Amino acid sequence: MDGACFQAKVTAHIDREVAARPELVTIETAWRSPKEQRPGALNKNQYRELAEPDNPDAEPPYPSAKSAIVVFGKHLGRTVTVCLDDECPVHTNHVPSVSVAPPPPSMPAASEEETEEETAQREADHEQRMAEYQAEQDRQAAERKAEFKRQQKKYEEETRRREKAHKARLATLERIVAHAPASFDAAQLRLFVELLLHLSPYGLFEEVAEHLVQDPDHNDKTENEILSDALVACADDKLMGFVLRLLLTTHTDFPLGEQPDLLAKAEAVFAPPKPKVVKAKQKENKKPVAVSTPAKKKASRKKAA
């Protein structure tokens, strides 16, 4: 598959995902000029990428966390989780800015006929309101600080838990690699095919899915669903053929330029043409031609004695 074809398939995958999930945020992970950016996509300064959740299909754990799809740059086409709040107390290392507080109470103006006692009462009432106002501001500040500490502690605990779990998963990978067999049995090969399907989410196997669909006009399944169903229905002795179909269907097109003809290479390895048997020409057995010999002249009449 050439670069232009791959890019077209990735773009089609992104367009399908955005159409199917309008809530997805589109982001770019690399810099490019504003004229080249995808309309509505956020650049690197407008979001913060978060660790992948244990369940990608679950709702983001925090209100500021959103699901996003990369439309340009590294990990193109991948769905990630991002934070869009610059003042988020969970995903930043600073205390969020204080919201605009209501203005402090003002002391009412004195009336022309106000007595000294009324002036004293007015000032005392104002001081009381100011004290209540300041106490409320202190209470709200303490609540914000406590909430920040609570969320920060929760985030740090979750980060430690994920780091520990990730180390365990890395150890699992090393154990799998260390015990890799020289050849796969049916169950291992079936999982290998499933890994291939998940490794390529960009429509690379679209042609295979089209081949497997019996009635394209009445099919509402996605490419991945079609291939997964076909894998489940595939017999054990046909798994290798299923793998080869996945990997070689895209190579049925003619290779461009100096690209290797992988289909021809696969043919030479898996299905080499049988050599033509050249039959040696047999020499024609000519029937012996009877050679007519001149008949012996009959003996002349016996000489008379």
Backbone angles phi, psi at 287, to 5 degrees: -70, 135
User: Could you report the per-residue pLDDT of 70-84, keeping only the tens digit for each?
Assistant: 988 877 888 888 888
| 299 pLDDT more than 70 | no
166 vs 27: CA distance, rounded Å: 25
Domain boundary among 86, 115, 133: 86
Phi-psi region of 24 (alpha: psi -120 to 50; beta: other; left: phi over 0): beta
What is the spatial order of strands in the sheet that 48-49 belongs to? 25-28, 65-72, 79-83, 48-49
Binning pLDDT at 50, 70 and 90, where does residue 27 land?
very high
Least confident of 124-133, 224-233, 280-289: 280-289
Residue 139 lies in a domain: no
Q: Which domain holds residue 254?
A: 186-270
Task: For residue 19, tell me if it sits in a domain.
Answer: yes
The reported pLDDT for the residue numbered 94 is: 42
Give the pLDDT band (50/70/90) at residue 305.
Answer: very low
Confirm whether 125 is domain-assigned. Answer: no
Q: 266 in a domain, yes or no?
A: yes
Split into its structural domains, the chain has a count of 2
**Is 119 strand, coil or helix?**
helix
* Chain segment 182-197, per-residue pLDDT in tens: 888 888 888 888 777 7
Please check whether residue 77 lies inside any domain of the structure.
yes
- Domain-embedded: residue 98: no
The answer to whether position 59 is within a domain reads yes
More confident residue, 89 or 121: 121
Give the C-alpha distances (Å, rounded to integers) separating 190 from 52, 193, 228, 229: 26, 5, 11, 12
Determine contact, residues 231/186, Cβ cutoff 8 Å.
Answer: no
Residue 216 lies inside a defined structural domain of this protein: yes
Cβ contacts of residue 107 below 8 Å, gap of 6+?
A: 122, 123, 126
Taking residues 30-51, report their average pLDDT. 82
- Is pLDDT above 70 for 204? no
What's the token pair of residue 20? 């199917």
Q: Give the end of a domain, one of 30, 62, 86.
A: 86
Distance, in Å, from the CA atom of 61 to the CA atom of 137, rounded to the nearest integer, reads 30
CA-CA distance, 265 to 251, in Å (whole number)? Answer: 11
Which of 86, 118, 150 is at the close of a domain? Answer: 86
End-to-end CA distance of the chain: 113
Extract the tokens encoding 116.
């000294």
Residues 103-150: tens digit of each pLDDT: 888 888 888 888 888 888 988 998 999 999 899 989 988 998 888 888
